[in-house]
């Protein structure tokens, strides 16, 4: 039998809301053409993010009620600690309310003007937290990662040669740490191979530069290693993840991804003196070290969720779902990043709408049209999210213009995704009607969350006559 099934059945359902096309035209206009400003009730299928949007299991909900809400030393903390320690092997573990809290603490300690922190590719909040300290966030992906249709089993890998050159050019003393993002969200949810993690570590070691793993999607990454790196075919994803952590000097995780929870995360390190500094900032910003900004019930949910996320049945279904979704888009001619990653399918907006220049946000034009046409919310990962301006105010585009269709964990079925594929195929057939947008206002950091935009010229796909 070839059919891959969901390794669960549905016990609770949540209705989704239909809107009409004229309503969506008005709602998007009111949201200033930024889908982050929409109300979720006005969205039919929400592929904005896979972060914190997953469905918890009956086991997780059962553990929630057992949450110990004591301020200090709660039983729930020790359950959390046991699982995170078993997974990471790190001696110093701190709960945080989500991934960026870990980044904030870590970057405050490691960053500062003149410092450079390289990565395979920094996630947007990581980059922002590094830059906020005055340090430079540098992406060193392998060349294949920037070529949307080039097939490579581990497009998330770091370019080790460029890392070596950077260390020589910059001097190790200015590089307080090297990050590796597993999987590499910004460039398509692409995995990093075990051999790349080992090579990066071997490159850093002679200079004493610590390796920090951004483990937000470590389970999906471990499963890709099992599928694609022959030596690991017989190892469990949990064992593979343990081996990755064993190489690293520290790690952090947004448990809103592969922790299968709606809020939470952790930061973990080997070095005792670094741990002491983390603890001080944790108490200042997050909370006492045995809860770190989370309720006891959240710690319970993470402890259970982490174990479920590594189950092979679940990971097989998860990775297969994304591959199936990608195949649906491929069959409909929609250009996507190949091969598809672990948590999302990324549409190649530069090929979808080549007539819209980067400074007019081709990805955002597709995101807006997809919402108006079908009530589907996606997110732009391109010039709006990652673009910069030079000193003359000219737009500097990132290497890729993408639209991310992130699939929440255990939430949508095959027919939901088929609907999205059909909607994108409709838009693709009418793509010459897509029109660019311009920024009305934007904040200096993470501007895509709050930016206000307007269409440059009337677009049939956004308002007026329905062409579809
Ligand atoms: C989501 C994410 C973060 C930030 O975590 P939050 O929980 O959203 O604060 C960091 N790194 C990666 C790779 C992520 O996907």
Residue with the nearest Cα to atom 10 of ligand 1?
Answer: 99
Largest CA distance in the chain: 64
Q: What distance in angstroms lies between residue 253's CA and the mean position of ligand 1's atoms?
A: 7
Using alpha carbons only, give the angle 445, 449, 453 rounded to the nearest 5 degrees.
100
How far apart (Å, rounded) are the C-alpha atoms in residues 234 and 194?
A: 14
Helix and strand totals (H; E) in the chain? 16, 16
Residue 72 has which token pair?
């200090």
Domain coordinates of the chain in residue numbers?
Answer: 21-50+311-463, 58-309
Give yes or no for residue 265 CB within 6 A of ligand 1.
yes
- Look at 278-282, 322-326, 439-443 and tell me which has the smallest mean pLDDT: 439-443
- Substitution candidate for ligand 1 out of 50, 99, 106 with most atoms within 8 A of CB: 99
Contacts of 108 (CB under 8 A, 6+ apart): 133, 281
Contacts of 157 (CB under 8 A, 6+ apart): 120, 141, 142, 145, 192, 193, 196
3-state secondary structure of 455: strand
Q: What distance in angstroms lies between residue 269's CA and the mean position of ligand 1's atoms?
A: 18
Q: ω into residue 125 within 30 of 0, thus cis? A: no
Give yes or no for residue 100 CB within 6 A of ligand 1.
yes
Model pLDDT for residues 372-384, shown as the tens digit of each residue: 999 999 999 999 9
Q: What distance in angstroms lies between residue 101's CA and the mean position of ligand 1's atoms?
A: 9
Residue with the nearest Cα to atom 3 of ligand 1?
Answer: 99
Q: What distance in angstroms lies between residue 157's CA and the mean position of ligand 1's atoms?
A: 18
In this prediction, residue 185 carries a pLDDT of: 80
In this prediction, residue 465 carries a pLDDT of: 52
Atom of ligand 1 nearest to the CA of 181: 13
In this prediction, residue 25 carries a pLDDT of: 95
Q: What distance in angstroms lies between residue 124's CA and the mean position of ligand 1's atoms?
A: 8
- Substitution candidate for ligand 1 out of 185, 255, 305 with most atoms within 8 A of CB: 185
Atom of ligand 1 nearest to the CA of 98: 7
What architecture is domain 21-50+311-463? Alpha-Beta Complex (3.90)
Give yes or no for residue 455 CB within 6 A of ligand 1.
no
Percent with pLDDT over 70 in the chain: 99
Model pLDDT for residues 160-200, shown as the tens digit of each residue: 999 999 999 999 999 999 999 999 987 789 999 999 999 99
**pLDDT band for position 77 (cuts 50, 70, 90):** very high
pTM of structure: 0.94
Q: Spelled out in words, what is the top-level CATH class assigned to the domain 58-309? A: alpha beta
Atom of ligand 1 nearest to the CA of 263: 7
- Substitution candidate for ligand 1 out of 50, 183, 254, 407 with most atoms within 8 A of CB: 254
266 by Cβ neighbours in 10 Å (0-12 / 13-18 / 19+) ranks as buried
**pLDDT band for position 464 (cuts 50, 70, 90):** low
Give yes or no for residue 258 CB within 6 A of ligand 1.
no
Query: Average per-residue pLDDT in the chain?
Result: 95
**pLDDT band for position 393 (cuts 50, 70, 90):** confident
Give yes or no for residue 68 CB within 6 A of ligand 1.
no
Helix (H) or strand (E) holding 28, with range, is helix 21-30
Atom of ligand 1 nearest to the CA of 101: 9
Give yes or no for residue 126 CB within 6 A of ligand 1.
yes
Model pLDDT for residues 254-276, shown as the tens digit of each residue: 999 999 999 999 999 999 999 99
Give yes or no for residue 181 CB within 6 A of ligand 1.
yes
How far apart (Å, rounded) are the C-alpha atoms in residues 391 and 399?
A: 19
Q: What distance in angstroms lies between residue 424's CA and the mean position of ligand 1's atoms?
A: 27
Model pLDDT for residues 234-256, shown as the tens digit of each residue: 999 999 999 999 999 999 999 99
Q: What distance in angstroms lies between residue 254's CA and the mean position of ligand 1's atoms?
A: 5
Give yes or no for residue 264 CB within 6 A of ligand 1.
no
Percent with pLDDT over 90 in the chain: 89
């Amino acid at each position: 039998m070839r059919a891959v099934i969901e390794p669960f059945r549905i016990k609770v359902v949540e209705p989704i809301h239909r809107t009409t096309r004229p309503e969506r035209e008005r709602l998007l206009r009111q949201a200033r053409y930024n889908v982050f400003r929409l109300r979720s009730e006005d969205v039919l299928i929400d592929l904005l993010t896979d972060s914190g949007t997953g469905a918890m299991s009956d086991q997780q909900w059962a553990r929630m009620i057992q949450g110990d809400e004591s301020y200090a030393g709660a039983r729930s903390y020790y359950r959390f600690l046991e699982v995170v320690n078993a997974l990471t092997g790190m001696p110093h573990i701190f709960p945080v309310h989500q991934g960026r809290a870990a980044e904030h603490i870590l970057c405050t300690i490691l960053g500062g003007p003149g410092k450079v922190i390289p990565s395979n590719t920094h996630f947007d909040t990581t980059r922002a937290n590094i830059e906020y300290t005055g340090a430079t966030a540098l992406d060193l992906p392998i060349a294949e990662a920037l070529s949307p249709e080039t097939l490579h089993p581990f497009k998330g890998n770091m370019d080790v040669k460029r890392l070596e050159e950077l260390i020589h050019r910059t001097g190790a003393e200015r590089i307080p740490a090297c990050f590796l993002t597993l999987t590499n969200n910004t460039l398509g949810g692409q995995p990093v191979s075990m051999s790349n993690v080992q090579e990066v570590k071997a490159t850093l070691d002679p200079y004493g530069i610590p390796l920090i793993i951004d483990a937000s999607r470590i389970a999906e990454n471990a499963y890709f290693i099992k599928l694609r790196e022959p030596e690991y075919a017989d190892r469990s994803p949990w064992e593979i993840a343990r081996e990755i952590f064993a190489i690293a000097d520290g790690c952090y995780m947004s448990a809103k991804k592969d922790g299968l929870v709606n809020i939470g995360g952790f930061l973990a390190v080997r070095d005792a003196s670094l741990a002491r500094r983390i603890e001080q900032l944790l108490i200042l910003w997050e909370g006492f070290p045995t809860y770190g900004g989370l309720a006891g019930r959240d710690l319970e949910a993470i402890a259970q969720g982490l174990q479920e996320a590594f189950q092979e049945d679940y990971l097989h279904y998860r990775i297969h779902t994304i591959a199936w979704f990608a195949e649906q888009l491929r069959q409909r001619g929609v250009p996507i990043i190949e091969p598809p990653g672990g948590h999302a399918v990324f549409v190649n907006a530069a090929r979808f709408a080549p007539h819209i220049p980067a400074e007019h946000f081709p990805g955002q034009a597709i995101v807006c049209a997809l919402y108006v046409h079908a009530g589907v919310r996606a997110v732009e990962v391109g010039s709006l999210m990652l673009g910069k301006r030079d000193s003359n105010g000219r737009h500097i585009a990132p290497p890729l213009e993408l639209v991310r269709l992130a699939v929440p964990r255990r939430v949508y079925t095959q027919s939901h995704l088929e609907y999205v594929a059909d909607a994108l195929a409709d838009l693709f057939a009418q793509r010459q009607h897509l029109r660019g947008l311009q920024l009305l206002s934007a904040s200096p950091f993470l501007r895509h969350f709050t930016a206000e935009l307007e269409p440059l010229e009337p677009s049939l796909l956004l308002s007026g006559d329905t062409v579809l």
